[in-house]
Amino acid sequence: MKYIPPELVHEIRQRCNFLSGIDSAELALRSRKTERNNLKRRAQIHSFRIEHPELRVPYNMPKSKGNELIIEGVRCLENAFQWGREHFDPCEFNETFLQEVAGRVLCGNGSMPYRDSGTRITGASVTPPDPYKMRIIELPWFFYRARELFSSGDIMSIINAAIFSHLHIVRIHPFVDGNGRTARTMQDIILDSQRVPSPIIEVGERGTYYDLLDKAVYDYKHKKRAGEITNGATEGERLFYTFIAGKINASLDKLLSDFH
């Protein structure tokens, strides 16, 4: 299935291969580690900003009083990511792991239960599956397909698995709250397992991001079942995958900027 344009796949492979080849250079590794952390931090801040457009969230973490909600929200995303990177095992990627990440995204310290009622997403074209279908059909399929992608070991399969997880966690919407932040955190955990940096979705791209997500979910539900696909993917899926892959490529380019 071809979700990402070949020329973009080629660029990502080139950058990943180059970074892999210089990981043994201590000086380069030290400077890139700082930049990786900066990219991860920015991704988490923007992830919080996307979910809270009503707050004046700064580009860097504030230190003044009155910003406790912002500081706590981003800290929880950081904790969820850190816990996930320490416990992630592609062979054991399952419901327990996802629920643990989701619980930490919402500042808890344990597993987040699945929603037990129907839900709607404001402004979305598609209603998430009801709780029965979610538990019996959608989630088992999601974890099975994700583990299939992990098993390849190819860097692009892992990147596809990360974007796949992002898209389908949002589509399935398994929790009462925090689904978007959980989806983006889960994506970044998977990418980090292969030392691929986090993509940064700028808050100014919030509308574009939501529109692409909505079209990808709509096309998956309606057009894919109707057979309106090319090389296994609908137009909406390809557009969303390409958008996120482009962001990954930009983060890779940032890591490589010192070597150009």
Report pLDDT digits (tens) over 64-96. Answer: 555 677 788 899 999 999 999 999 999 999 999
Is 210 within a domain? yes
At residue 27, the pLDDT reads 46
SS3 230: strand
CB 186 within 8 A of CB 84: yes
Q: pLDDT-based confidence at 60, cuts 50/70/90?
A: low
Counted residue by residue, the chain has a size of: 260
CB 239 within 8 A of CB 211: no
Look-up of token digits 């892999």: 20
Mean pLDDT over each residue of the chain, to the nearest integer: 88
Is 1 within a domain? no
Is 178 within a domain? yes
Is 252 within a domain? yes
Question: Among 251, 164, 133, 247, which residue's Cα sits nearest to residue 201?
Answer: 247
CB 197 within 8 A of CB 255: yes
Question: Among 123, 139, 146, 114, which residue's Cα sits nearest to residue 218?
Answer: 123
CB 80 within 8 A of CB 98: no
Which residue type occupies 250? A
Mean pLDDT over residues 162-168, rounded?
98
Domain span at residue 14 reads: 6-259
User: How many angstroms separate the CA atoms of 99 and 104, rounded?
Assistant: 9
Largest CA distance in the chain: 55
At residue 29, the pLDDT reads 57
Look-up of token digits 């490589």: 256
**What total of structural domains would you count in the chain?**
1
Is 244 within a domain? yes
Is 238 within a domain? yes
What distances in angstroms separate CA 122 from CA 94, 114, 119, 128, 214, one per listed residue?
28, 19, 10, 11, 11
Is 54 within a domain? yes
pLDDT tens per residue across span 2-50: 899 999 999 999 999 988 877 655 445 555 678 888 899 889 988 988 8
User: How many angstroms separate the CA atoms of 32 and 259, rounded?
Assistant: 11
Percent share of the chain, pLDDT over 70: 90
CB 232 within 8 A of CB 2: yes
Is 231 within a domain? yes
What distances in angstroms separate CA 208 from CA 58, 186, 254, one per listed residue?
20, 21, 22
DSSP state of 233: B
Minimum mean pLDDT range among 93-102, 181-190, 230-239: 230-239
CB 74 within 8 A of CB 50: no
At residue 220, the pLDDT reads 92
User: How many angstroms separate the CA atoms of 86 and 228, rounded?
Assistant: 40
Percent share of the chain, pLDDT over 90: 66
Query: Residue 68 sits in a domain of what CATH number?
Result: 1.10.3290.10
